[in-house]
Copies of this chain bind each other. A is one copy, B any other.
């Protein structure tokens, strides 16, 4: 069994954003030389997500609006977590909706994807350096 590990670094300039990281994940897969196996892509921070969906800006605006409805940022005082001086409790909630990680099949050296699947980094508390982990196991 072979394994491969790579960190992807981000410094999102806004509080929230979605970034298509499929090209970086594909590059890691090529570098791994693994042909059959599984690839794990996960946020290493607990106020961010990695998820798979469509690369469509309208949809991403819908996600942004919907997540603000389900777990609003304001008023920040509504969350106990923010009593410690933080203002990012909502980011911890949003991340649970969108998920921490994805696991993707590797077949014939490629991400084994359906027609529209793309991998996104979802930032919910940006304006600082944060990481995503890519781990690949297989042969």
Interfacial residues, chain A to chain B (CB-CB below 8 A) = 1, 3, 5, 36-38, 40, 42-46, 51-54, 56, 58-59, 61-63, 66, 70-71, 79-84, 89, 92-93, 95-105, 107, 112-117, 131, 133, 135, 137-139
Contact = CB atoms under 8 A, between A and B. Distances in A.
The dominant DSSP class at the A interface is: mixed
A53 B96 contact: yes
Copies of this chain present in the complex amount to 3
Contacts of A95: 53
12 contacts: A1-B138, A1-B139, A45-B116, A46-B116, A61-B80, A62-B80, A63-B93, A66-B93, A101-B103, A103-B103, A112-B133, A114-B133
Contacts of A115: 44-45
A66 to B, nearest CB: 6
B3 A138 contact: yes
A62 B114 CA distance: 29
Nearest to A5: B107
Nearest to A35: B3
A104 to B, nearest CB: 8
